[in-house]
Amino acid sequence: MPKSTQTTTSTDSVSVPFPRITGMVRQLTHDVRNGLNNVDLQAAFLQEIVTDPQAVPEIKRLRGMVTDAAKMLQAFSAMFWLPEPNLVTYSAAVFIEDFRMRLGKILPEQAPEIQWTVKLGDQSISVDIEMLYRGLTEFIKNAFHFREGQRPIEVHVGADACHLLIDLIESKTSIPSAPEGWGVEPLNSTRRSGFGMGLFHARQVLAAHRGDVMATFDPKAERLTTRLSLPLAAR
């Protein structure tokens, strides 16, 4: 009688296509958010029937924590899915000014520290405004997260004949690895509230707008420059 054999597969050799991971993450976050919504509904009911003055504010605080968790999951899930951009033609100068105002609301303590230089005329860009706002914001957040002390962060905005050019300039003594590999692959690193998806998603946003990202580091000048380029709209 032939002997049966059983093979085992090391998880190190398993390769899962990213679209399958995307589907799993979106379904998982959807299910968890439904559960959180049920918790919030139950907490809302308790808030209506409980009269203990010590319990009422605690229930309110609990509902706030549930809401924050649901928002985090929603933001995380959104990084795994990039819809087709809904392009509109928009003044590049107005877009940058609006972006600066939005940064002031998203990063109220950090945004005022950015040193801006904007040199634009009447150029226009065809973009999905909300999508591009989110992508550019991720680059700014990343710069502040890895900032060395209080070293300056600059943003220079201009244009050549065909592209809107946004240079994010960070003063750094060193960098951990070659910048051309940053954000190219997802899930390469994890940290508290970070899953290696931010720059990957931001790069996907630029690519969806036929844009490009190029980062260079000058060790002598102690300067990391990340150039984001977007095609100008046809006149």
Tell me the pLDDT of the chain averaged across its residues.
Answer: 85
Average of pLDDT values for 9-25? 69
Could you tell me if 40 and 67 are in contact, meaning their C-beta atoms sit under 8 angstroms apart?
A: yes
| Of the listed ranges 44-53, 146-155, 191-200, the one predicted with least confidence | 191-200
| Cα distance between residue 8 and residue 97, in whole Å | 57
Last residue of a domain, one of 78, 98, 120: 78
235, pLDDT greater than 90 = no
Q: What band does 199 get if pLDDT is binned at 50, 70 and 90?
A: confident
In order, the DSSP letters of 149-215 are: TT--EEEEEEE-SSEEEEEEEEE-S--SS-GGGTTTSTTS--BTTB-S-HHHHHHHHHHHTT-EEEE
Average pLDDT of the segment spanning 200-229: 91
100, 116 Cβ separation under 8 angstroms: yes
Supply the range of the domain harboring residue 20. 15-78
Look at residues 230, 211, 212, 208 and name the one whose alpha carbon lies nearest to residue 84.
208
pLDDT band at 92 (very low <50, low <70, confident <90, very high): very high
Same domain, 99 and 141: yes
Task: Provide the whole-model pTM.
Answer: 0.72
Of 27, 50, 78, which one is at a domain's C-terminal end?
78
Span 123-145, mean pLDDT? Answer: 93
- 121 and 70 assigned to the same domain: no
Mean per-residue pLDDT, 36-63: 90
Q: How many folded domains does the chain comprise? A: 2
Verify that 147 and 226 share a domain, yes or no. yes
| Domain closes at, from 28, 51, 78 | 78
Alpha-carbon distance of 21 to 26, in angstroms, equals 9
pLDDT of 25 reads 78
